[in-house]
């Protein structure tokens, strides 16, 4: 019984870490690429970098939520 409780606690901590990293990734993707290096040049690679950050952050948050639901 104690082992099960410790495992559940570890999974919840991992879920919190995943969700926190996801939110941090979203914030970094939004703030670091607000404007391109040259304000007149809007390149496709700039938009692609933001998209990758958004998708990766979403995946981390979703993974955290799934782990949290599985630990309950």
Identify the pLDDT of residue 70. Answer: 87
Burial of 18 (0-12, 13-18, 19+ CB in 10 A): buried
**Number of domains forming the structure of the chain:** 1
Binned average pLDDT, 10 residues per bin, the chain of 72 residues = 85 93 88 57 60 85 91 78
Which residue range(s) make up the domain with 15? 2-71
Q: Is 18 left (phi over 0), alpha (psi -120 to 50) or beta?
A: alpha
The answer to whether 71 and 11 have CB atoms below 8 angstroms apart is: yes
């Amino acid at each position: 019984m104690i082992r099960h409780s410790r495992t559940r606690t570890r999974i919840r901590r991992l879920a919190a870490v995943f969700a926190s990293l996801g939110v941090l990734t979203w914030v970094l993707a939004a703030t670091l690429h607000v404007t391109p290096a040259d304000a007149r040049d809007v390149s496709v690679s700039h938009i692609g970098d933001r998209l990758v950050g958004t998708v990766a952050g979403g995946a981390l948050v979703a993974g955290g939520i799934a782990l949290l639901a599985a630990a309950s």
